[in-house]
């Protein structure tokens, strides 16, 4: 391994495990860099977030003119607000932010904008549109695709019957609401479908989803389908059903489709389907660099999705070299 590769590796490793990290690409000293870009990540304890950081770090390594500073909000709004305040104080050239929740991060995003720092919002939104750009998946569309597939699994349009357990992501986030709304555009049209729970949130976490499902299993003799707003929660629900000896009667649908998680669980027959929610790590950074170099960027960049079922899971894994 060349010294430079070792250095990069060391920095990348540090970036994944410390709260604030400097990701310098190449050998140049930080002060030689043209652009200092701050990225405020909501948390790193969730697998999708870890992948997101890997993606942005890999992209940064392709831009020797960029110094990337990554902070970890540790899944707490107050911590993430302090992180963004810190980036403002450092007078970075641009701030990328993937908010823990919309309302809580809006004020500090406005502070950055008032300080004339261009802000790029990634994956979860804030309650203003004064930022330069939003980059992320279309959660309404993904919810609709999941709802349409649920109806198909439960007997088809006009004939679907079954009891559904829906496990919400964080209530303070737009993706959870959009994933809910899109899904119900399809399932609410079916008189034979019954929703067993009312707005129960697992806050995107596998263990919380496990507990919600364990209770739902105790309270309901018949559960036909689980819709988790992300794969860790769909999988948590699967594990609860398995522990109750009822996993074979139930279909499980999730969202994210990370190769090592959702796609593998589909391949193993644990989840019935997952929908790709690509991380905006690479695209977010590319767009910010474009903007700093004086190019025009669009207000919204929508990342593509796809459905992963037993039919294509293996192919998807192969394409990822797994
Ligand atoms: C990770 C995560 C993903 C989900 C996304 C929604 O924090 O919960 O699993 O798709 O956030 O914003």
Question: Distance from CA of residue 281 to its chain's centroid?
Answer: 10
Computed over every residue of the chain, the mean pLDDT equals: 93
Please name the residues in contact with 10: beta carbons below 8 A apart, sequence gap of 6 or more. Answer: none
Distance from the CA of 229 to the center of ligand 1, in angstroms? 8
Give the pLDDT of residue 31. 58
Angstrom distances, CA of residue 106 to CA of 125, 204, 230, 264: 9, 21, 24, 36
Q: What is the pTM of this model?
A: 0.91
Q: What is the CATH number of domain 3-131?
A: 3.40.50.2300
CATH class of 139-278+309-319: alpha beta
Q: Name all residues whose Cβ lies below 6 A of ligand 1.
A: 46, 48-49, 123-124, 169, 173, 175, 204, 230, 255-256, 277
Determine the residue of 40, 43, 49 to mutate for testing ligand 1's pocket, defined as the one with the most ligand atoms within 8 A of the Cβ atom.
49
Alpha-carbon torsion angle 181, 201, 204, 161, nearest 10: -50
| 8 Å CB contact between 250 and 226 | yes
pLDDT in tens, 131-167: 999 999 999 999 999 999 999 999 999 999 999 999 9
User: HSE (CB half, 13 Å, CA atoms) of 155?
Assistant: 12
Q: Is 66 helix (H, G, I), strand (E, B) or coil?
A: strand
pLDDT in tens, 61-82: 999 999 999 999 999 999 999 9
Please name the residues in contact with 229: beta carbons below 8 A apart, sequence gap of 6 or more. Answer: 166, 167, 168, 169, 175, 176, 179, 180, 202, 204, 255
Domains 3-131 and 139-278+309-319 share a fold: yes
Q: Where are the domains of the chain?
A: 3-131, 139-278+309-319
**Region 300-309 average pLDDT:** 98
């Amino acid at each position: 391994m060349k010294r430079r590769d070792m250095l990069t590796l060391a920095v990348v490793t540090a970036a994944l495990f410390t709260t604030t990290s400097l990701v310098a690409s190449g050998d140049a000293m930080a002060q030689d860099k043209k652009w200092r870009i701050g990225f405020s990540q909501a948390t790193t304890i969730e697998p999708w977030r870890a992948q997101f950081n890997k993606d942005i770090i890999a992209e940064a390594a392709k831009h020797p003119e960029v110094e990337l500073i990554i902070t970890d909000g540790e899944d707490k709004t107050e911590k993430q607000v302090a992180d963004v305040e810190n980036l403002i104080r450092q007078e970075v050239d641009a701030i990328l932010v993937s908010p823990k929740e919309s309302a809580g991060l809006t004020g500090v995003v406005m502070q950055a904008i008032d300080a004339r720092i261009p802000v790029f919002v990634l994956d979860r939104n804030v309650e203003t549109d004064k930022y330069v750009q939003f980059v992320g998946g279309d959660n309404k569309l993904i919810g609709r695709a999941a709802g349409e597939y649920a109806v198909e699994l439960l007997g088809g349009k006009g004939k679907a019957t079954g009891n559904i357990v829906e496990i919400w992501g964080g209530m303070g986030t737009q993706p959870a609401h959009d994933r809910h709304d899109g899904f119900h555009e399809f399932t609410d049209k079916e008189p034979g479908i019954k929703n067993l729970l009312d707005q129960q949130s697992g806050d995107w976490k596998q263990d919380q989803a496990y507990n919600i499902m364990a209770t739902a299993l105790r309270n309901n003799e018949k559960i036909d389908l689980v819709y988790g707003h992300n794969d860790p929660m769909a999988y948590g629900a699967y594990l609860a059903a398995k522990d109750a000896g009822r996993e074979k009667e139930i279909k499980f649908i999730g969202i994210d489709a990370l190769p090592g998680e959702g796609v593998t669980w589909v391949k193993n027959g644990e989840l019935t389907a997952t929908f790709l929610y690509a991380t905006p790590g690479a695209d977010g950074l590319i767009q910010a660099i474009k903007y700093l170099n004086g190019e025009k960027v669009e207000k919204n960049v929508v990342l593509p999705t796809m459905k992963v079922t037993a039919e294509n899971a293996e192919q998807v894994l192969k394409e990822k070299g797994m």
